[in-house]
Structure 1
Amino acid sequence: MSLTAASAPQRGSAAGRILAVMLRHLYVLRGSVPRLIELAYWPTVQMVVWGLITESLAPTMNWQAQAAGVLLSAVLLWDLLFRAQLGMSISFLEEMWSRNLGHLFVSPLRPWEWAVSLMAMSLVRTLAGVVPAALLAILLYHWNIFSLGLPLLAFFVNLIVTGWAIALVVLALILRYGMGAEGLAWAIVFAISPISAIYYPVAVLPGWLQWVALATPPAHVFEGMRGLLHGQGFDAGHFLAAAGLNLLWLAIGCAAFTYGFHRARDRGSLLQQGE
């Protein structure tokens, strides 16, 4: 299917422009085997390493099944957040590296349409990376994260949105300060990992830091995940807290991206940024 043919039915529409940008990135992925391998490489390595850690601890402790489930679920869900953020940032950086922003914005493409297309590509990249690792966990460690059922969908949506919110801030910083800030695409998400309660409960943090942790959506997701795996059921309170915080985080991310884009356009740097 050609780009022209795919977008012809919606020529001039926002959906058509979003689809066109998505197809541009999908064609790049389809034409590069190393890119496709890289999507699944790190999630799989992380899952294998943490699975082996749980296997090594199992003979000395009586929590093999539960510990394996908690740790492997935490690894996969954390990588989901990381991949959501990185997938959006990498699609953006590929435009910068190829000096393609000028070509994009001589078209009728609006900034919000570009952002939505990057979010859609982030979803594609995330699923392509995390799903193979989740399936391999079933084969190697007999742990099926899909057995969480509908709560898994709630965790998935919240972490994806958190990743997008963080990525929008990264995009804004790169637009504002140039390619010298591109390292943030890999580093910034790890700034919140100590307070995201990925592998341990929020309660182990110092009292003052617990309040900071509970202001982050991931902390509520991982607390809810552990409660579910410990037989306490799905905690609607943590879900609603994560969803509410995500709305706030996404609004901040959108505002930052809009500001960064307009600043870059006013300074004329949209056409000057690249490697």
Structure 2
Amino acid sequence: MARIEAAPADRERHAARSFAPRRVYALMLRHWFLMRGSIPRLLELAYWPIMQMVTWGFITQFLATESSLIAQAAGIFIAAVLLWDVMFRGNLGLCLSFMEEMWARNLGHLFVSPLRPLELVAALMAMSVIRTLIGILPATLLAYLFYAYNIYEMGLPLLAFFINMLAMGWVIGLLVSALVLRLGLGAESLPWILIFAFWPISGIYYPMDVLPGWLQVVGYSFPPAHVFEGMRQVLFEGTLHWGHLAAAVALNGLYLGLATLFFLHVFRVARVRGLLLSIGE
């Protein structure tokens, strides 16, 4: 009789130790529902392969026809990647400072105080500058030590490029922060996704005339394309293209103003709806 009663318990222990495909399926189903309910997660799956293919395709096309031009300006790719990283770090510096408050569920506590939303924006931008400098300065030093390339030889144009790339990073950071505030932390991958939409159309590693005509129009409607075209002229010819600089400044002023207004609007709606106290996936 004792053996008969022990048999079901033995079977349960054996089932717990054995590999159960239904448990695998249950966990897969859980993650499938999570992914299916988040558009940013779905887009991210196809996003990176597409960006890599498009960008390196244009680089290959450029090098196949203009490889001799590259030899005229040592360090052009190093300068390009450092300037791109200013925009990337500027975006992340703002977004991560904002999302750290969301992860800590601290936004509601902050706005019990007299803090104003515009003051929050100013603080996020200031932290973005600090984070960007901490990230970029060591890289410029290593570029000199490893490759004998001194990006600071560009002089004052470098400062103009830095400010414009940082401002564009703020534009993207404010837009992303507003979307994360509105959509919840399920969209927290957006800081890494949205900025790379500008990668193929900014002419980072190749001149803009490599792109199809219609894509050049799209690229020139954003500041990075003007910054990188201006950077190449400084490196190749030693002169600053004032037209590109003026276009970058004007576009940054427009987009930064619109992005700030959008962030403040979303923040006001979130505060009215109580979203500051109920942040989640």
Q: Same fold (TM over 0.5)?
A: yes
Partner residue, 2:110: 104
Letter in 2 for 1:89: C
RMSD of aligned alpha carbons: 1.6
1:124 to 2:126 alignment = no
Cα distance in 1, alignment partners of residues 199 and 255 from structure 2: 16
Partner residue, 2:253: 247
Please report how far the alpha carbon of residue 176 of structure 1 lies from its aligned counterpart in structure 2 after TM superposition.
1.2
1:205 to 2:211 alignment = yes
1:236 to 2:236 alignment = no
Cα distance in 2, alignment partners of residues 212 and 64 from structure 1: 25
Letter in 2 for 1:75: V
Structure 1 runs of 4+ with >2 Å offset: 61-68
Partner residue, 1:15: none
Please report how far the alpha carbon of residue 68 of structure 1 lies from its aligned counterpart in structure 2 after TM superposition.
3.8
Partner residue, 2:147: 141
Aligned length: 216
In the superposition, the TM-score normalised over structure 1's length comes to 0.76
* Contiguous gaps of at least 5 residues in structure 2: 1-62
Cα distance in 1, alignment partners of residues 206 and 68 from structure 2: 18
Residue in structure 2 matching 1:182, options 185, 188, 194:
188
Please report how far the alpha carbon of residue 116 of structure 1 lies from its aligned counterpart in structure 2 after TM superposition.
0.5
Partner residue, 1:272: 278
Partner residue, 1:42: none
* Contiguous gaps of at least 5 residues in structure 1: 1-56
Cα distance in 1, alignment partners of residues 147 and 118 from structure 2: 42
Measured against aligned partners, the alpha-carbon deviations of 1:61-91 in whole angstroms (never above 9, x if no partner) come to 7677645421000010000100000110000
Cα distance in 1, alignment partners of residues 226 and 118 from structure 2: 28
Cα distance in 1, alignment partners of residues 181 and 208 from structure 2: 35
Partner residue, 2:163: 157
Letter in 1 for 2:213: G
Cα distance in 2, alignment partners of residues 152 and 67 from structure 1: 16
* Percentage of pairs with the same residue: 57
Measured against aligned partners, the alpha-carbon deviations of 1:199-258 in whole angstroms (never above 9, x if no partner) come to 111101101111111101000000000011001511111000000000111012112101
Cα distance in 1, alignment partners of residues 69 and 276 from structure 2: 54
Letter in 2 for 1:215: S
Structure 1 SS opposite 2:112: coil
Equivalent residues of 2:234, 2:240 under 8 A apart: yes
Equivalent residues of 2:219, 2:225 under 8 A apart: yes
Cα distance in 2, alignment partners of residues 65 and 206 from structure 1: 25
Between 256-265 and 152-161, report the one with greater CA deviation: 256-265
Structure 2 SS opposite 1:260: helix
Change in 2 beyond 3 A, CA 1:83/1:208:
same
Residue in structure 2 matching 1:70, options 73, 76, 79:
76
Equivalent residues of 1:99, 1:274 under 8 A apart: no
Residue in structure 2 matching 1:84, options 79, 83, 90:
90
Equivalent residues of 1:220, 1:242 under 8 A apart: yes
After TM superposition, the structure 1 = structure 2 runs for residues 163-174 of structure 1, keeping only pairs within 5 Å, are 163-174=169-180
Equivalent residues of 2:87, 2:166 under 8 A apart: yes
Structure 1 SS opposite 2:221: coil
Partner residue, 1:19: none
Equivalent residues of 2:70, 2:76 under 8 A apart: no
Cα distance in 2, alignment partners of residues 117 and 225 from structure 1: 30
Equivalent residues of 1:98, 1:274 under 8 A apart: no
Measured against aligned partners, the alpha-carbon deviations of 1:143-164 in whole angstroms (never above 9, x if no partner) come to 0001100000000110011000
Cα distance in 2, alignment partners of residues 122 and 236 from structure 1: 27
After TM superposition, the structure 1 = structure 2 runs for residues 43-54 of structure 1, keeping only pairs within 5 Å, are none
Cα distance in 2, alignment partners of residues 256 and 140 from structure 1: 43
Larger Rg: 2
Structure 2 SS opposite 1:155: helix
